[in-house]
Amino acid sequence: MQTMATMGQNNKLNKSASDSNKPNNFPADKLASETDAQKTNSTLPEGEYPLARIRNIAIIAHVDHGKTTLVDGFLRQTGIFRDNQEMVACVMDSNALERERGITILAKNTAVNYKNHLINIVDTPGHADFGGEVERILGMVDSALLVVDAADGPMPQTRFVLRKALERGLRPIVVINKIDRPNIDPHIAVDKIFDLFVDLGAHDKQLDFPYIFASGLNGFAIRDLNDEQKNLAPLLDMILEHCPPPLGEIAAPLQMQVSILDYSDYLGRLAIGRISNGSIEDGQQVILIKEDGEQIRGKISKLFTFKGLDRIETKKVSAGQIVGIAGFAHANVGDTIASLPNDNAATGDQALPRIKVDEPTMKMAFIVNNSPFAGQEGQYVTSRQLRARLMRELETNVSLRVVDTDDTDTFMVSGRGELHLGILIETMRREGYEFQVSRPEVIVKTIDGQECEPFEKLFLDLKDEFTGSVMQELGSRKAELQNMHVDRGQAVLEFLVPTRGLIGFRSEFLRLTKGTGVMNHAFYQYRPWCGEIAGQRNGVLIAWEEGVATSYALGGAEDRGVFFIKPGVKVYGGMIIGENTRPQDLDINICKTKKLTNMRSSTSDVMVTLQAPVEMGLERCLEYIQADELLEVTPKSIRMRKRNLSRK
């Protein structure tokens, strides 16, 4: 740590006399010195930056450690928005799901100008299920901002993305974020990060990482805790100082690797990546080199650079910059876009080393809805519409796989985990699609003649009093304890567990820890099949007939178990309405009403008091259903049902 401390002292910001008069949220030309501001507005043509004035950097972190908020601060303080422009929090979270959940799902890139430099910043997901996004992004940048919560320190996903960065030889810049939180010591987080670097086998230069303290929410960064908290200029200066400019030759033949896919309703598939060598022009004839070596000749129909959140059409872009290209409908992640073989004496060996993206580990069936309520709530309900939507998702979601089955109404969809597939289901549901899905299953592979299944590293942070019950639960799920640390009544447990053992565990873990536990997991490797895992659930309560649930019937059946529905909900025969207290499934009639007679006492119509039903969200339902059950998803409802509604 002595080396890092020395570096932190040597890297202190050289402040000019005019700095003290500048307010917090100033544009880039006011964050910089007056001389640099004049240079920024000078003669550089759009899209033309020398390599020495380009910085490409990814911003990576664990879920909810504040990286998207930090990018918001960059955009606000570098003059991307007008003074009178309405802004929302987490502007980089471009869809409603990202805003609701507070997580980044899709990798997105932006660019800011600072001190006559172009800084391309790529915001990447922080959840392991979207790790495919992270792996691709690291191939188009030269450094990374590793954002770590000052209170939490490095978390499991931090380890996941940091390992990827170190393997590529990147030297990350560490940002200790959220230092405005009370009762924290940011230096403890720095020590933990150093230990993590050592554990991951970082070399000496990577261990000598620069670090800075920041608060993305309040928009400031400081190199020393005693510095004045003004703006993010110290962090931008550190990026210019420690992030190397991209390598490449502008005069060489064109080489660009596709790292991100986007889609436009007007232009079709957009290929986004960094130009490694040469330059590219709008309308230029180029070739697309596929994984199998096939070369597809085509024309650049549109060429884009990025400024803030916008795509900017341009005519020519040179090596080192991140660009978007339209014109190649069959472009995929890892493909190379290169000059024609006769251009600039280009040779046939132009393909760049391909990006390796981890394969999916979990699959589930997407099925056309065939329940008695089919077609009542959704706008898109046919197999043709469902298949077209899944195929369109493949345009941008490279970690996803879709396979047709022998049944024309069933499609097998594979992804990186429950959250990855759950986000797709929720997105389609909000778009008006109505369909059914099966229970998630792990993807089994045969390696060296042995059947293998995916395993994950599981990290639990919980009170010490709950460790016994949690370890007992994980024992039945074939988990192996790897590490355990107890400090001041708080335990941190590390397990190696088969992925199928985690299906349904999150809700059980929260119940066992009374809602206080924190759970994180990331894919580890494929290992030999570890045997069958016993069922973890009681039987279910099933509606006997179609109708409307009544409070009279629900009240009379409360001793049978807990319910998932309220009075007044429409049900059909075979629909799952609750959980039985016993292992067997039980059919009950919850639509019956109280019969009227001509002999009624004064107390016969007393109001029925019911227990509150258990609320079942999408992820919880996916964990809950068994192999003989389906989850019916519509824009308005989520219903669990038996595959065989007649059950005869």
With pLDDT > 70 as the criterion, what percentage of the chain qualifies? 81
Separation between Cα atoms, residue 634 and residue 426, nearest integer Å: 10
**By three-state DSSP, how is residue 339 classified?**
strand
Supply the pLDDT for residue 345: 43
- Largest Cα–Cα distance of the chain, in whole Å? 101
pLDDT, averaged across the chain:
80
Residue 79 burial (C-beta neighbours within 10 Å; 0-12, 13-18, 19+) = buried
Higher pLDDT, 365 or 423: 365
Supply the pLDDT for residue 7: 40
Supply the pLDDT for residue 364: 93
* 288-326 tens-digit pLDDT: 998 888 888 989 999 988 876 678 888 888 888 888 999
The end-to-end CA distance of the chain, in Å, is: 70
Separation between Cα atoms, residue 107 and residue 138, nearest integer Å: 11
Q: Lowest mean pLDDT: which of 147-161, 304-318, 603-617?
A: 603-617
Mean pLDDT of 565-570: 91
Give the residues across from 498 on adjacent strands: 455
Q: 316-318 and 279-281 as β-strands: parallel, antiparallel, unpaired?
A: antiparallel
Count CB neighbours of 315 within 10 A. 12
Supply the pLDDT for residue 647: 59
Domains by residue range for the chain, with CATH: 2-242 (3.40.50.300), 255-345 (2.40.30.10), 445-528 (3.30.70.240), 540-642 (2.40.50.250)
Supply the pLDDT for residue 344: 44
Mean pLDDT of 533-554: 87
Supply the pLDDT for residue 156: 64
Higher pLDDT, 136 or 474: 474
Contacts of 251 (CB under 8 A, 6+ apart): 278
Is the pLDDT reported for residue 52 higher than 80?
Answer: yes
Mean pLDDT of 52-60: 87
* 64-119 tens-digit pLDDT: 667 777 877 777 777 665 554 555 444 444 555 544 454 554 556 778 888 888 88
Mean pLDDT of 230-251: 89
Is the pLDDT reported for residue 536 higher than 70?
Answer: no
Separation between Cα atoms, residue 376 and residue 481, nearest integer Å: 49
Which of 114, 150, 130, 362 is closest to 239 using CA atoms? 114
Supply the pLDDT for residue 1: 36
Q: Are the C-beta atoms of residues 586 and 559 closer than 8 Å to each other?
A: no
Higher pLDDT, 332 or 146: 146
Beta strands in 417-517 (DSSP E): 435-437, 441-442, 445-447, 450-463, 480-487, 490-498
Quickly tell me which residue has 């990026």 as its tokens.
239
Higher pLDDT, 544 or 103: 544
Supply the pLDDT for residue 184: 84
Secondary structure (DSSP) of 223-265: SSTTS----SHHHHHHHHHHSPPPP--TTSPPEEEEEEEEEET
Q: Are the C-beta atoms of residues 319 and 279 closer than 8 Å to each other?
A: yes
Is the pLDDT reported for residue 605 higher than 60?
Answer: no
Is the pLDDT reported for residue 608 higher than 70?
Answer: no
Supply the pLDDT for residue 154: 82
Mean pLDDT of 202-212: 90
What is the reported pTM?
A: 0.71
Supply the pLDDT for residue 48: 63
Separation between Cα atoms, residue 122 and residue 608, nearest integer Å: 56
Q: Lowest mean pLDDT: which of 80-94, 362-376, 540-554?
A: 80-94
* 468-513 tens-digit pLDDT: 999 999 998 999 999 898 877 888 899 999 988 888 788 788 889 9
Q: Where are the alpha helices (DSSP H) in 87-200?
A: 96-101, 131-137, 156-167, 186-199
Is the pLDDT reported for residue 282 higher than 60?
Answer: yes
Supply the pLDDT for residue 455: 92
* Angle between helix 186-199 and 156-167 (nearest 10): 50
* 377-409 tens-digit pLDDT: 999 999 999 999 999 888 777 778 999 999 999
Supply the pLDDT for residue 84: 47
Residue 537 tokens, joined: 């659930």
Quickly tell me which residue has 């986007």 as its tokens.
262
Residue 391 burial (C-beta neighbours within 10 Å; 0-12, 13-18, 19+) = exposed
